[in-house]
Amino acid sequence: MPGLAAARRPSPLWVLGLFRSELVTVVRRWRTLALLGVLAAVPILIGIAVKIETRGGGTAGPSGGDGPAFISQITNNGLFLVFAGLAATLPVFLPMAIGVVAGDAIAGEANSGTLRYLLVAPAGRTRLLLAKYASVLAFCLLATLVVAASALAVGALLFPLGEVTTISGTQISFADGLVRALAIAGVVALSLTGVAALGLFISTLTGSGVAAMAATVGLLITVQILDQIPQLHAIHPYLFPHYWLSFADLLRVPVYWDQLVKNLELQALYVAVFGSAAWARFTAKDITA
């Protein structure tokens, strides 16, 4: 009956409440708090190490690898600790934290037996899956902001702040640099959406939260290794971490948009593919076992 169908259809406020409930559940877990603590500690350790080295008469050298050389600039401007902290956590720590949270999203509920009770509510499987993915995306932003905020606080405490010298060699005001730091944090958070979708898909394949988290993190490490093998350069542009460090282009004048756009397009592709796969699996998943 139309009236009965309308009565069973959840209101937008109810759906918003479902998302809030999922987000609160994620953030309140001790495992999540521990992950955020580790992420906050990374820029603190970098700042202390640079401070000790400069006091000892040394000069902080540029970071190794292909990443941007932000560490050498920290002593001149504490704002660079934000960029260095994000560059240090993005290859491993941030995606591992997202992988743990995303991998546990469905499998953890199935393992504890609470998934079937969640599906008794009128949200339906699609809305529940979207609420869980939205909560993982919110955690992506939260985790990135924790790193940035910790780095900014430590950078302001240990080092001077002032005009920012960009990668192009030009100077911009501190306010402009702060806006770019916020934009970089946003880009880093968006860079993790592909990992989040991949982890959510893996979470629908098993009823063990530990197995889903381990598989997601293991796959992440494998893809990172593949991205470092020169002989596999043909597949590098299709690996989700390949353009992660392109956020450094936001510190150029003018901004280089090419790799930034490629990064966001690649993440959108992973979200579309693995998000669809997660939906197809979850809507057909037997949750009574």
Q: Is 90 exceeded by the pLDDT of residue 194?
A: yes
pLDDT tens, residue by residue, 85-122:
999 999 889 999 998 888 887 876 665 555 555 555 55
Cα gap 96→213, rounded to integer Å: 9
Q: Is 50 exceeded by the pLDDT of residue 1?
A: no
pTM: 0.85
User: Other C-beta atoms within 10 Å of 91: how many?
Assistant: 17
Distance of CA 108 to the CA centre of its chain: 20
Q: Are 159 and 81 in contact (CB under 8 A)?
A: yes
Q: Are 199 and 105 in contact (CB under 8 A)?
A: yes
The CB-side HSE value for 59 (13 A sphere, CA atoms) comes to 5
Q: What's the token pair of residue 67?
A: 């990443």
CA of 27: how far to CAs of 24, 133, 135, 139, in Å? 5, 14, 9, 8
Cα gap 259→211, rounded to integer Å: 34
